[in-house]
Amino acid sequence: MTTQTAEATQSAYNFAYLDEQTKRMIRRAILKGLAVPGYQVPFASREMPMPYGWGTGGVQVSAATLTPEDCFKVIDQGADDTTNAVSIRKFFERTAQVETTTHTAEATVIQTRHRIPEEPLREDQVLVYQVPIPEPLRFLEPSEVETRKMHALEEYGLMHVKLYEDIARHGAISTAYAYPVKVEGRYVMDPSPIPKFDNPKLEMAAIQLFGAGREQRIYALPPYTQVVSLDFEDHPFDPSKAEHPCDLCGAEDSYLDEVITDDAGSRMFVCSDTDYCLARRDAGHEGAQGARG
């Protein structure tokens, strides 16, 4: 592409793809979400140039949040280099010309799918989640009218029925991701499909915004909001992870992916947060199979 056509493309789009009216509408929903933590605010989700399920909600929230001075990072299951992350990063490089990075500490806006970065976030950062199904009660109560009423009246007994079923069937709460939480003692919220290992990190310094494009809902957690994972007295919440250190960087405190390496059942465990793993290896840490070539 020549410089001229590249400029023509850029000027054809408004900053960050969405038009200003749409961004205002989304910002109003975000502000309402921040004012009522955990409450699902309906918004007029737009058609985006990607299929539903690929992060249309997150992309719209990011588009409404980004300013030209921002530095943008996208992760997909913790990784910066997967298809989803690369294409969303490119999308905003092209339509917003914002600086992008893979380093958690450098980013001001981080869009994520299914993970919270290992490195603690700061007050000047915004974490944007892609949410497939925002309604935590959906699989128990199919009626939207009824679930809204349940939220309004704080009737959350049903959520514990789900956890009860887990224990009755598997002997422990087997919900491992999208583990329901209660926000500030009021709304029960689906934290998007992050592993339950990440649940304790939901109480953080950064602003957290959740966007569900297909379901047309935005919700939010202001900094330092109280977020409690639901559990039973005799079956307390357990943010478990694989009992293993990372095979590349040796970290014992990070969430791990299990990678099958051949047909004979060999496997290795690696940090799901690629930036965290890389930074540790750069700092000289090394795991069991971590020889860098």
Under rule CB under 8 A, which residues in 234-253 are in contact with another protein?
234-235
Q: Considering the complex, what minimum distance in angstroms separates the CB of residue 169 from another protein?
A: 7
Instruction: Select from 14-22, 81-89, 158-166, 262-270 the region that touches another protein (CB under 8 A).
Output: 158-166
Total residues at interface with another protein (CB under 8 A) = 16
**Of the candidate residues 47, 69, 124, 233, the single one contacting another protein (CB under 8 A):** 233
Query: In the set 12, 168, 264, 291, which binds another protein (CB under 8 A)?
Result: 168
Minimum Å gap between C-beta 158 and another protein is 7
Position among 87, 133, 148, 165 found at the interface with another protein (CB under 8 A): 165
Query: Considering the complex, what minimum distance in angstroms separates the CB of residue 115 from another protein?
Result: 29
Note if 71 is an active site residue.
Answer: no
Of 94, 123, 146, 164, the one binding another protein (CB under 8 A) is 164
Of 133 and 167, nearer to another protein (C-beta) is 167
Provide DSSP, the chain.
--HHHHHHHHHHSBTTBS-HHHHHHHHHHHHHHHHSTT--EE--PPP-SS-TTSSHHHHHHHHHH--TT-EEEEEETTBSSSHHHHHHHHHHHHHH--EE-S-TTT-SEEEEES---SSPP-TT-EEEEE-S---TTTTT---HHHHHHHHHTT--HHHHHHHHHHHHHHSS----BS--EEETTTEEE---S-BGGGGGGGS-SSEEEEEETTTTEEEEE-TT--EEE--BTTB-------SS--TTT--SSS-EEEEE-STT--EEEEES-HHHHHHHHHTT---TT----
Which one of 59-67, 124-132, 164-172, 250-258 is the stretch in contact with another protein (CB under 8 A)? Answer: 164-172
33, 55, 78, 277: the active-site residue? 277
Q: Which of 140, 200, 203, 245 binds another protein (CB under 8 A)?
A: 140
Answer for which of 3, 11, 157, 292 binds another protein (CB under 8 A) is 157
Catalytic site includes residue 249: yes
Residue 232 binding another protein, by CB under 8 A: yes
Q: Which is nearer to another protein, 171 or 293 (CB)?
A: 171
The residues near 232 (Cβ < 8 Å, ≥ 6 apart) are 160, 163, 164, 167, 173
**Residue of 211, 213, 246, 287 marked active site:** 246
Nearer to another protein, 35 or 161 (CB): 161
Candidates 99, 119, 155, 286: give the one binding another protein (CB under 8 A).
Answer: 155
List Cβ neighbours of 225 (8 Å cut-off, separation of 6 or more): 37, 183, 184, 202, 203
Q: Confirm if 226 and 184 have CB atoms less than 8 A apart.
A: yes
Residues with catalytic function:
38, 246, 249, 271, 277
Using CB under 8 A as the criterion, which residues of the chain lie in contact with another protein when the complex forms? 140, 153, 155, 157-158, 160-161, 164-165, 167-169, 232-235
